Homo-oligomer: A and B are copies of this chain.
Amino acid sequence: MTTIRCGLILTVALAGVNGYSADTNSPEQIAACLAAKALTNSSAMEIITDLTTEIGPRLDGSEAEKRAADWAKKRLEQIGFDKVWIETFPLEHGWVRGIEKAEVIGPSPQPLILTALGGSVPTPDDGIEAEIALFKTYDELLAMPAGSLKGKIAVVTQRMVRAQDGAGYHFAGKIRAAGPSEAARRGAVAYLLRSLGTDGRRVPHTGGTHYAEDAPRIPAAALSASDAEQLERLFDKCAPVKVKLVLTPRVLGPVTSQNVIGEIKGCEKPDEIVLLGAHLDSWDLGTGAIDDGAGVAIVTAASKLIHDLPQRPKRTIRVVLYGSEETGLHGGIAYAKAHQAELEHLVIVAEPDLGQGPIYKMDTGVANPDEPSLKRILTALTPLGVLSGNNESHGSSDVGPLSEAHVPVVEFDMDATDYFDLHHTPEDTLDKIQPSRINQSTAVYAVFAYLAAELDGDYRAPAPKSVK
């Protein structure tokens, strides 16, 4: 009978009548209403459309990221959040992309398509010309002795594996993060990798890299999948392959970024907070639709649905739209630091940052996975197609630093089968967003946030011993 009662609630709510009574509707019934509404509602699509159209790309520390923050603050206010504010934090330095050109000089002259890794140092203005040393696995590069790549451009063409849970990215991450310094230690003058991506196209994927303190900083860029395969074919002919590389990114001085925070106050326990995160910054190449405009739209639209209920849940729902995630979780770290004194008020936290969904599994990182309300939440999510996962989560992205500080986390696993076809590329644009997928994710977050705010679960207490 949930559906019928749901219709009643919504009718009453829409009519603005105060006859609604929480007593007559269980939390699960209200959650089912939220889910039903999320699946057909246009809020998430409207939010992501406006963010990616009116702002577009929003690299951290940039003017565009500040415009995005102002846009977000206004949007949360329009929705009716009780309190909305911006918290600014410093970034050691900004970074902007420049020219990025590469070509095979010999033996088969032709252009290559690549893009600089975030944070890469530039080449000299007239570029670097050098023979390549190509490795089809990262381990082959690591097996090379010091000095063995002297004067060469190291190229790693290891493929990233497609996996529903994004495990391929996890395993390949070090090729981008640590590869440039590993190549430099062995004498390389520049570093190229096959883009961390699951597509087979002519589109390079950017992403941050991290220079080690004890290695020379060499220019680093990601080849498109097609270009990496072209280099493999040329290299396999066993004649020396010479490449010219021009990268002119610039490191800026200190800049600032910011987190945008909004609250829907709880009606009984306003000091207890269910926190939903997402990050507002994006890489510069696309318009940040799947990464992480989708997350922004999901948590904002889910909160709006809860805000629009005739009666608020007991606890406060706080949305944090983080800045500067892409270049090192700076927003998440700044938030955890600035809010250290109130971390104990955070009941549970969650963040979508793996695309538009659908969400297919619920993991937790809590002290007491047997807490009965978790089972009630999972049961309420079952009709949406959500499986039970494990209790090994450390939280995704920006809520990771909170998990490290022992704040309970939930992680809703999004189907990432096609996520890494688009991730960090110019193709990360609005036209890739499918209403049915982003709405399912919004429904999951709405149900979760509502029940976590309503059900009085305590996820910090140690798990009760089971009596046999």
Interface residues of A (CB under 8 A from B): 49, 53-57, 64, 104, 108-111, 113, 200-203, 225-226, 229-230, 233-234, 286-287, 425-427, 429-431
Contact of A200 among B225, B233, B431 (CB under 8 A): B431
What distance in Å separates the Cβ of A366 from its nearest Cβ neighbour in chain B?
A: 40
Given the known interface contacts A202-B286, A226-B431, the answer about A111 and B53 at a Cβ–Cβ threshold of 8 Å is no
Please name the residue on chain B nearest to A113 by beta carbon. Answer: B426
Given the interface pairs A110-B287, A230-B287, A286-B202, the reply to whether A431 lies near B53 with Cβ below 8 Å is no
Task: Give the residue of B104, B113, B201, B431 whose beta carbon is less than 8 angstroms from that of A225.
Answer: B431
Determine if B53 and A202 form an interchain contact, defined as CB atoms under 8 angstroms apart. no
* Min CB gap A107→B, angstroms: 8
Chain B residue with the shortest CB-CB distance to A201 = B427
Rounded to whole angstroms, the CA-CA distance of A226 and B201 in the bound complex is 16
* Residue numbers in B under 8 Å from A429 (CB-CB): 202, 226, 230
* Chain B residues within an 8 Å CB radius of A203: 202-203
Check if B233 sits within 8 Å of A53, measured CB to CB. yes
> How far, in whole Å, are A111 and B53 apart by their CA atoms in the complex?
11
**Considering residues A49, A57, A110, which has the most beta carbons from chain B within 10 angstroms of its beta carbon?**
A110
Q: Is the CB of B426 within 8 A of A202?
A: yes
Name 22 interchain pairs, CB-CB below 8 A, sorted by A: A49-B233, A53-B108, A53-B233, A53-B234, A56-B104, A56-B108, A56-B109, A56-B110, A56-B111, A64-B109, A64-B110, A110-B287, A200-B431, A201-B427, A202-B203, A202-B286, A202-B427, A203-B203, A225-B431, A226-B430, A226-B431, A229-B431
CB A290 to nearest CB in B, in angstroms, measures 13
Q: Which residues of B contact A111 (CB under 8 A)?
A: 56-57
Return the chain B residue nearest A289 by Cβ. B226
Cα-based distance from A111 to B57 in the complex (angstroms): 8
Interface-central residue, A53, A104, A111, A113, by most chain B CB under 10 Å: A53
Residue of B nearest to A229 (CB): B431
| CA–CA, A225 and B287, complex, Å | 14
Residue of B nearest to A428 (CB): B202
From B54, B55, B64, B108, A55 is in contact (CB under 8 Å) with B108
Assembled-state Cα–Cα distance A233/B54 (Å) = 9
A56 to B286, CA, bound (A): 27
Q: Looking across the interface, which residue of chain B has its beta carbon closest to that of A53?
A: B233
**A287 to B108 CA separation, bound complex (whole angstroms):** 12
Residues of chain B contacted by A286 (CB below 8 angstroms): 202
Taken together as a complex, chains A and B put the C-alpha atoms of A431 and B53 apart, in Å, by: 33
- Minimal beta-carbon separation of A263 from chain B (angstroms): 28
Query: Which residue, of A49, A108, A109, A113, has the highest number of chain B Cβ atoms within 10 A?
Result: A108
Asked whether B108 lies within 8 Å of A54 as measured between CB atoms, the reply is: yes
A55's nearest neighbour on chain B, judged by CB, is: B108
Closest 9 interchain pairs by CB? A56-B110, A202-B426, A226-B429, A53-B233, A202-B427, A54-B108, A200-B431, A226-B431, A201-B427
Please indicate the chain B residues that have their CB under 8 angstroms from the CB of A233 in the complex.
49, 53
Q: Which of B110, B201, B234, B431 contacts A57 (CB 8 A)?
A: B110
Q: Which residue of chain B is the closest to A56 with respect to CB atoms?
A: B110
